[in-house]
Structure 1
Amino acid sequence: MSYLDDVSPGHGALPPRAAFTSDARSLCLDGDWQFHLSPSPADAPAGFELDSFDATDWPTLPVPSNWQMHGHGQPAYTNHLYPFPVDPPYVPSDNPTGDYRVEFSVPWDGPTVLRFEGIDSCGRVWLNGVELGVTRGSRLPVEFDVTGVLKARNLLAVRVHQWSSGSYLEDQDMWWLSGIFRSVTVLERPVGGVPDFFLRASYDHVAGTGRVEVETDANAVLSIPELGIDAPVGQPIDVGLVEPWTAETPRLYDGVLATDTERVPVRIGFRTVSIEDGLLKVNGRRILLKGVNRHEHHPDLGRAVPYVLAREDVLLMKRHNINAVRTSHYPPDPRFLDLCDELGLWVVDECDLETHGFTEVGWERNPSDDPQWTSAYLDRMSRMVERDKNHPSVILWSLGNESHTGRNLAEMASWTRQRDDTRPVHYEGDYDCAYVDVYSRMYMTHAEVEEIGQAQGMPFILCEYAHAMGNGPGGLLEYRDLFEKYPRCQGGFVWEWIDHGIRQQDANGREFFAYGGDFGELIHDGSFVIDGLVFPDRTPSPGLVEYAKVIEPVRIDGRRVTNHYDFRTLAHLDFDWILEEDGQERAAGTLDLPTVHPGQSTDLPFPELPATAKESWLTIRAHTREDTPWAAKGHVVAWGQVNVTPRPATTTRPARPFDHTPGTLLGIPVEEPRLDLWRAPTENDRPENERAWRDAGLHRLQHRVVSDETTGMSRVVRTRVAPPARAQGMAVTYTWTASDAAVHLNVTIEPEGEWPVLPRLGLRMALPGGYDQVEWFGLGPNEAYADSRTSARVGRFRKSVDDLQTPYVFPQENGNRADTRWLELTDNGTGLRIEGAFDFTARRWTTEDLDKAAHTHELEPGHWIHLNLDIAQNGLGSASCGPGVLPKYQLHARKTAIELTFRQVTPALPG
């Protein structure tokens, strides 16, 4: 059997150990390496590992990188389908094979190891022509002892195969990308140094004291100057009163673990994780996980994510109130966990394991229950645990993802508990909870979550929920309410953090982000890889803005504020307020709050407000009092609104004879409003609703004028709107009247026959493209839909038509602004004002154009602004991989009406 088909972890590697730096010397080998790609192992050049081999004509490839991202082969995406026959442990003979060579020298003699942080999927390593070994486990570190092999000048050669037996364990819903994609380092290992260590720093929440215990084979001393500690290791060290580490207050104490020959800096966070009374607790308190799943992805570099962008990920999460990360579905670059320690995130550290593709064969021959794979499973778990055991941010070990169940997973759980009894074990696939410590499921409905919450048992976590694919997810608020209602339901992790789009350009140089199928893959899962809260370039999506609002740690409800932090008071926040009348500021001020502890509420101490006549809203904000490591002073953490003066009733005005010029409205060329029921389906519409909508013909309605009569004061147009080949229809009456330089439109809609849930219900019109400056009073500034509108506030907002668009990688319905009182579209100050109660979207392309496009660059701006004025739209849900729209947010056909007033807008006079 070839080593590619061997199910063992590999051979030649040193035992796994913690990731740490020290004052011992090291040499980073990152940079340009010589590289050659062959279509198969049989075609790979023999003897390339030898110094005598002539590789002068080989191109270079940066390390770390994925070779497909640098023009060698093509990326390929599948969610769970293996792109090769399911015939474990065998892989195809057509197996792209990359050969790497690099020369280096080190300025020391003595014990030395060579460390790879990640090789996808299988690497065979030589130094100076001597084979060091073979490694599998792509997203896990491996070290080789090179002490007796080093010379003054060294040649390192690595043969990397895209496919190996390990590929069966790495079916993780992401681009299949290959190569040495994490750093490579040569490390001096001093005699008498620190070979490895396990630092356990616990916290007694009753006494407020900490304890440190260091497990190591070294004769070492631990010093923590800030705590006055300088003591030999081997026995627990009581350190007295300490500030505990939490995700909200990530207090780290700098220390040094030292021997006579090596000094290792350590950052110590005192915290204790426990399960008590059926609850997951840290430092004696129940925690609520407001988390995301995070893949490592970069639109240009694949999985070789630079540290600066990993840091940006954490900063963005913190700024959007996220407090937890599940490292789906493999351990991240170790530096990411350093950031979580430093900046404060709870981490579920997940093993490099997923065998999801075996679902296609009924889980037959699934490695999870096959004893020949046991050593590979245990190797992957031990390499993660040993690498990451000293991180206070890691509070749960996860065995992997979507690998069904079986003896090998149970063995992993048992080994992990024996190695580390300070953290519980997680795995969603153990439905019976036979070998896990928390109950975990994914994509459960709200009703299912409530049922679980009402029962007794283990802590419950949604390891994946609220699928953030395209426009959505909807229903986040209802999940939050369940997490807060039932103590056992301790939150979860939205799927997922980032869209895995790959930046491309078309023949005309227009940029877009590619997804599955765009590289000619024969088997792919399309845009299912585009399912993040941030776009591929890490721009926050409306879904992230909504999530941030829903999970605010401070709840401002009316004139009352509640502290939803788990550990800290509100003393680090300032509160201010602003009173706006018809969207214009009338007054503002600050608020002084008493101490508000976690879980407590208090009334906000408002001054007397000035009287207002028009609709008025009071907005209260909580923002950071000082600069923090993750945000500047003044960063808004939470906000709320109070309606001070309701919207005045509409005043009836005398009508005048109706004078209509076809094709114009108040002198502006327009396509007149008419009924519209269609929206370009969202990714969450596609699984459940889109087919029903198309079957009902909602995308191709036909309009028949029944009558059109003008009688002095009004024009009444009666129509029937219906899809071809169907009997159902809508009786629609448009009644136009005029008064005081305004035109009024009343539209009544009465359904006939049976209709499915509707995408939208409202009017569609168009006006010339120059009227592209938009101002409105209503919800904003971001888009809002029936079940995703918590983050929208009432105010007056301005944007261009172009800025109203949300550039979802896969084009779909977007940009809806809700609860609009009035809207103006202008060209150099001249234009049209529309008053009423409606939602609106405004675009330079039609809904049909949006529906037809597969990528954003395919949307060609036209000469018209296409405007929808809606009574309502259907909710969003998350049916792309989860529950659909909750019943209360579904849009059903019903008898209804909409009233609008159109006025001219003219430029304001100077002065």
Structure 2
Amino acid sequence: MSLRTTAYVTDVTPGAGVLPPRAWYPASDAKSLSLNGTWRLRRSATADAHDDAFAAPGHDTRDWAEVTVPGHWVLQGDGAFGSPIYTNHLYPFPVDPPHVPTENPTGDHVRVFDLPKDWPRLSEGGALLRFDGVESCARVWLNGTELGWFTGSRLPHEFAVGELLRPTGNVLAVRVHQWSAGSYLEDQDQWWLPGIFRDVTLLHRPEGSVTDFFVHASYDHRTGEGTLRVDSGVAGRITVPALDIDIATGETATVPVDPWTAETPTLYDGVLATPGERVPLRIGFRTVALEDGLIKVNGRPLLFKGVNRHEWHPEHGRALDLETMRQDVLLMKRHNINAVRTSHYPPHPAFLDLCDEYGLWVIDECDLETHGFTEQSWRDNPVDDDRWTPALLDRAARMVERDKNHPSVVVWSLGNEAGTGRGLTAMAEWIHARDASRLVHYEGDVDCRDTDVYSRMYPPHAEVERIGRSLDGGTRKRRRLPLILCEYGHAMGNGPGGLADYQRLFERYDRLQGGFVWEWIDHGIRHPELGFAYGGDFGEELHDGNFVCDGLLFPDRTPSPGLLEYRKVIEPVRIEGQGRDGSVRITNAHDFADLSALTFTWSYDVEGETAATGTLSVPALTPGESAELKLPEPPAAEGPEARWTIRALLARDTPWAPRDHVVAWAQLPVTPHRPPALTPSTAPASTADGIRLGPATFDARTGTLLTLGGLEVTGPRLDVWRAPTDNDEGAPWQPDARLGPLWRKLGLHRMRHRVDAVEPDGTGLTVRTRVAPAGAEVGLATTYRWVSDGERLKLTVSVVPEGDWTLPLPRLGVRLALPRADRVRWFGGGPGEAYPDTRSASRPARWTASVDDLQTPYVRPQENGARADVHWAELGGLRIDGDPAFWFTARRWTTEQLEAAAHLTDLTPGDRVWINLDHGQMGIGSQSCGPGALPQYHLHARPAEFSFVFSTRG
């Protein structure tokens, strides 16, 4: 290849000079040298800005910048090396495959290194240079000799380099291009981030060392025996001391074992020994099969309670260290998640080691997506072009060969949103032939010609139920296959709603084998001025805004309310019963584990305060088994509301959570809530300041409350608007069902309030109003009725819709403001926010928080922070009791200010606290990508009446 040649950048083949793929293993007794660390970088705006002289030993790079590898150069240097680009599916360059623009940011990387003093003599064996991930195209030299080039950003590539090494002064040069032909295969709804973002390692290869090996470890659930065979490119022996196995490679041994499952991840330590190397093995015995139309492991069907996981760190992008990966796995386990789909590429291989160790089912997905071709009806799509098939097969092989020894991997996925075509069929045929021990997935194969499961994204609940009942039609093969939702519950902003309704369907119909919420983490980039940045914040020519922030974790890995809701919905223990008769039914919802690892406790709570506690004796129920238990006699405790709280806790420390970690819980009501009673005893009186009624004064002209017990109050008055959530705003491809724009079109964000009458009488004050949007004939006839017993003030709000209301309301309640407030106490749902279809995790109790802590910090500000089923709340010297229970929200800015903010840093606290007391809230749904809120969670404009009792507390 001559100087300044860049033709390889648009070559549709996968590379040149690269060794065949093989199994990845983290350690052996052979020497290795990490080349991670500080590298020299020269960034150019085009691919051919410089010749190849930089790769020669002795080239002066002292004036070059420094970057960290693993890393992305656009996330280093405070913007000096360019900026990230976010698109969901649009290619950020002209679609003209395989060509890419001349404006092709290119990073020349140089690393000079010495071999360790204990490195074997260069005459003793060879050496490999391994790159675990480079985006998107890399050309490599060592000591001035070109090794080759490759594409396939999230896949490993190795070069033989033994004859080129020197004891000291080795010069490794890597030219990385942001765009290449491979970029057409990597359009994966994520930031485009060039760089060497995974490990670079030099591996000594002694004579007779391991080349490639395949661990076959099956389990027969009928006999309780595992069968082990290890095929190896170099003959050797396999020893597993705990199982007394000592066999040659290629031989089989069948012995009694404990099987591997995500719930019971038993691994056996072994060794593969060849004449030149000893490789440690971690062996999990399990068998994956498609039987009786179901995905089964070890003879039992699975129910996936999963998430899609992009790799992400708010400072380092996709350059994750081991502890960040471990944090992800521990968070998943602690939130009852049992499965992960590696969307939309194989993860760092160490992540799969963690899945093996801690126990997660894995759908391992190939580094393939061509979503942007949907803009041209899939014309010129590479997956249906034979010229690209070698690259597709190379990507499939590099995934399978690298990850084939992980028991956690139970399904291979061909990729994501790449249309259909001959290349996908070739990939499926190759994978089936290479590894018959796992299943093959691809959502785009709607007829399931090449796949072993029927997969869908974001179908509405009704359609999922039809599929569960096998009323969905399709090909005969598809009708015989199980359904998994490879994506559902779009976790963008506030939400997702409707997860509990999906879960009920999954558990009702065997054919529905669960799904994977989209997605694990918000891809916000930490920004000194914006907090977390999203699409468009870096001046991108094309971008998809905050669609990149659609995770169950905030960018800093703080769990969102959506994750807490999902944890509750997918609990592996079901606790049900009737609190009034003191009975409880415990059901084991695990697929494999019994309940011997759990202990159960009860508490008897009166108006949110614990009156008594104890333990509950629960047998070690097997999966699917239930037991009816009697609760103890409740203590004699007085209060307006009593309930049992039952918890399932870890009985002992586990690798993923400590003893007493709560796995599941439920509350069983015993006595109902008694709303506050107020007997009117004070008549209104006219004063120089307005109208006096008990502890309150009102404006005589408008009937507006001005003060209460000396406390200045703004409002309350009817409010129907909320700062639209991402799910309210909806996806742009759903123009007829996007509530946010429809609400604005009707004018619900600018309601007008007309006072029709202010009527004092002998027992109180009545204020009659009409609340309506300008430019529309619909309205809400609203009556405020105020009465007092001399110390307290009661407001009853009556609402009657007028006109033809076809849209649901965002909310229905009153809004008021107080001059100051910090701490909030309430009795009702908590500790976090809840909405009609996201309230499973809301637990009634007494809670305390600051006003600031009531806010949920969504990366793009929107409606948040409502507490459900609130009976009373206290803040700023005011107590509010509700009849019926209400939704409570308090914040230091108005709804209008919240709506106008693009980032959290746009929100500036004012001198008042704004409070919403809502009779109703619209559900959340998942319409930022999936279906909207179910009909039962719509807030229709109907006649309504609700009351609040206000009192001051000094």
- Mark yes or no: TM-score above 0.5: yes
Q: CA deviation at 1:45?
A: 4.6
Aligned amino acid, residue 278 of structure 1: G
Aligned residue number for residue 852 of structure 1 = 900
Q: CA deviation at 1:673?
A: 0.8
Kept in 1: contact 2:878–2:950 (CA 8 A): no
Aligned residue number for residue 535 of structure 1 = 554
Question: Of residues 564, 570, 587 in structure 1, which corresponds to 2:589?
Answer: 564
Aligned amino acid, residue 848 of structure 1: E
Aligned residue number for residue 174 of structure 1 = 190
Question: Equivalents in 2 of 1:167, 1:652: separation in Å?
Answer: 69
Question: Equivalents in 1 of 2:203, 2:741: separation in Å?
Answer: 59
For 1:377, what is the secondary structure of its paired residue? Answer: helix
Question: Equivalents in 2 of 1:729, 1:374: separation in Å?
Answer: 61
Aligned residue number for residue 287 of structure 2 = 272
Aligned residue number for residue 763 of structure 1 = 814
Question: Equivalents in 2 of 1:592, 1:13: separation in Å?
Answer: 61
Question: Equivalents in 2 of 1:205, 1:763: separation in Å?
Answer: 60
Q: CA deviation at 1:369?
A: 0.6
Q: CA deviation at 1:147?
A: 1.6
Question: Of residues 731, 751, 760 in structure 1, which corresponds to 2:781?
Answer: 731
For 1:684, what is the secondary structure of its paired residue? Answer: helix
More deviation, 792-801/872-881 = 792-801
1:98 lines up with 2:120 in the alignment: no
Kept in 2: contact 1:44–1:97 (CA 8 A): no
Question: Equivalents in 2 of 1:604, 1:355: separation in Å?
Answer: 54
Give unpaired runs (5+ residues) of structure 2.
1-5, 471-478, 578-583, 685-692, 699-705, 731-737
1:194 lines up with 2:210 in the alignment: yes
Q: CA deviation at 1:652?
A: 5.0
TM-score (structure 1 length as normaliser): 0.97
Aligned amino acid, residue 207 of structure 1: T
Aligned residue number for residue 514 of structure 2 = 491
Aligned amino acid, residue 663 of structure 2: V
Question: Equivalents in 1 of 2:149, 2:552: separation in Å?
Answer: 38
For 1:845, what is the secondary structure of its paired residue? Answer: coil
Aligned residue number for residue 916 of structure 2 = 868
Kept in 2: contact 1:77–1:525 (CA 8 A): yes
Report Cα offsets for 1:321-359 as digits up to 9, x if no partner. 000000000000000000000000000000000000001
Structure 2 counterparts to residues 737-756 of structure 1, below 5 A: 737-755=787-805, 756=807
For 1:48, what is the secondary structure of its paired residue? Answer: helix
Question: Equivalents in 2 of 1:704, 1:525: separation in Å?
Answer: 41
Report Cα offsets for 1:615-644 as digits up to 9, x if no partner. 111100001010111101110000001111
Question: Of residues 452, 467, 475 in structure 1, which corresponds to 2:490?
Answer: 467
1:53 lines up with 2:89 in the alignment: no
Structure 2 counterparts to residues 15-26 of structure 1, below 5 A: 15-20=20-25, 21-26=27-32
Aligned amino acid, residue 268 of structure 2: Y
Aligned residue number for residue 98 of structure 2 = 89
Question: Equivalents in 2 of 1:902, 1:500: separation in Å?
Answer: 43
For 1:3, what is the secondary structure of its paired residue? Answer: helix
Aligned residue number for residue 823 of structure 1 = 873
1:783 lines up with 2:819 in the alignment: no
Kept in 2: contact 1:181–1:303 (CA 8 A): yes
Q: CA deviation at 1:217?
A: 2.1
Question: Equivalents in 2 of 1:649, 1:169: separation in Å?
Answer: 61
Aligned residue number for residue 84 of structure 2 = 75
Q: CA deviation at 1:740?
A: 4.6
For 1:148, what is the secondary structure of its paired residue? Answer: helix
Question: Equivalents in 2 of 1:818, 1:651: separation in Å?
Answer: 21
Kept in 2: contact 1:617–1:794 (CA 8 A): no
Question: Equivalents in 1 of 2:894, 2:153: separation in Å?
Answer: 46
Aligned amino acid, residue 379 of structure 1: D
Kept in 1: contact 2:306–2:338 (CA 8 A): yes
Aligned residue number for residue 663 of structure 2 = 637
Question: Equivalents in 2 of 1:570, 1:44: separation in Å?
Answer: 65
Q: CA deviation at 1:654?
A: 4.5
Question: Equivalents in 2 of 1:446, 1:592: separation in Å?
Answer: 37
Kept in 1: contact 2:268–2:284 (CA 8 A): yes
Question: Equivalents in 2 of 1:603, 1:641: separation in Å?
Answer: 16
Question: Of residues 358, 361, 371 in structure 1, which corresponds to 2:373?
Answer: 358
Aligned residue number for residue 801 of structure 1 = 851
Aligned residue number for residue 309 of structure 2 = 294
Q: CA deviation at 1:585?
A: 1.4
For 2:159, what is the secondary structure of its paired residue? Answer: strand
Structure 2 counterparts to residues 337-352 of structure 1, below 5 A: 337-352=352-367
Aligned amino acid, residue 109 of structure 2: Y
Question: Equivalents in 1 of 2:60, 2:849: separation in Å?
Answer: 61
TM-score (structure 2 length as normaliser): 0.93
Kept in 2: contact 1:656–1:737 (CA 8 A): yes
Structure 2 counterparts to residues 132-281 of structure 1, below 5 A: 132-153=147-168, 154-238=170-254, 240-281=255-296
1:691 lines up with 2:691 in the alignment: no
Question: Equivalents in 2 of 1:116, 1:273: separation in Å?
Answer: 31
Structure 2 counterparts to residues 897-908 of structure 1, below 5 A: 897-906=945-954
Kept in 1: contact 2:72–2:319 (CA 8 A): yes
Aligned residue number for residue 619 of structure 1 = 645
Aligned residue number for residue 582 of structure 1 = 607
Question: Equivalents in 2 of 1:152, 1:568: separation in Å?
Answer: 54
Report Cα offsets for 1:235-275 as digits up to 9, x if no partner. 2211x211000000100000001023210000000000000
Q: CA deviation at 1:567?
A: 0.4
Kept in 2: contact 1:835–1:902 (CA 8 A): no
Q: CA deviation at 1:582?
A: 1.1
Aligned amino acid, residue 548 of structure 2: V
More deviation, 397-406/148-157 = 148-157
Kept in 2: contact 1:653–1:740 (CA 8 A): no
Kept in 2: contact 1:577–1:590 (CA 8 A): yes
Aligned amino acid, residue 904 of structure 1: T
Kept in 2: contact 1:473–1:543 (CA 8 A): yes
Aligned amino acid, residue 98 of structure 1: G
Aligned residue number for residue 545 of structure 2 = 526
1:11 lines up with 2:36 in the alignment: no
Report Cα offsets for 1:475-516 as digits up to 9, x if no partner. 00111011111111100100000000000012xxxx510000
Q: CA deviation at 1:649?
A: 5.5
Q: CA deviation at 1:666?
A: 2.4
For 2:801, what is the secondary structure of its paired residue? Answer: strand
Kept in 1: contact 2:676–2:882 (CA 8 A): no
Aligned amino acid, residue 429 of structure 2: S
Kept in 1: contact 2:676–2:881 (CA 8 A): no
Structure 2 counterparts to residues 507-522 of structure 1, below 5 A: 512-522=531-541
Report Cα offsets for 1:723-760 as digits up to 9, x if no partner. 11111111111110000511111110011012211100
Aligned residue number for residue 909 of structure 1 = none
Question: Of residues 789, 792, 805 in structure 1, which corresponds to 2:842?
Answer: 792
Matched residue count: 897
Aligned residue number for residue 476 of structure 2 = none
Q: CA deviation at 1:230?
A: 1.3
Q: CA deviation at 1:774?
A: 0.8
Matched-pair identity in % = 58
Aligned residue number for residue 346 of structure 2 = 331
Kept in 1: contact 2:680–2:787 (CA 8 A): no
Q: CA deviation at 1:305?
A: 1.1
Question: Of residues 424, 435, 438 in structure 2, which corresponds to 1:423?
Answer: 438
Question: Equivalents in 1 of 2:523, 2:590: separation in Å?
Answer: 32
Question: Equivalents in 2 of 1:100, 1:91: separation in Å?
Answer: 21
Q: CA deviation at 1:612?
A: 4.0
1:595 lines up with 2:643 in the alignment: no
Give unpaired runs (5+ residues) of structure 1.
907-911
Question: Equivalents in 2 of 1:646, 1:56: separation in Å?
Answer: 76
Report Cα offsets for 1:25-73 as digits up to 9, x if no partner. 0100000011110000221354110113221111111110000000311
Aligned amino acid, residue 526 of structure 2: R
Question: Equivalents in 1 of 2:630, 2:215: separation in Å?
Answer: 47
Q: CA deviation at 1:607?
A: 1.4
1:675 lines up with 2:718 in the alignment: yes
Aligned residue number for residue 30 of structure 1 = 36
Q: CA deviation at 1:605?
A: 3.6
Question: Equivalents in 2 of 1:539, 1:871: separation in Å?
Answer: 30
For 1:47, what is the secondary structure of its paired residue? Answer: helix
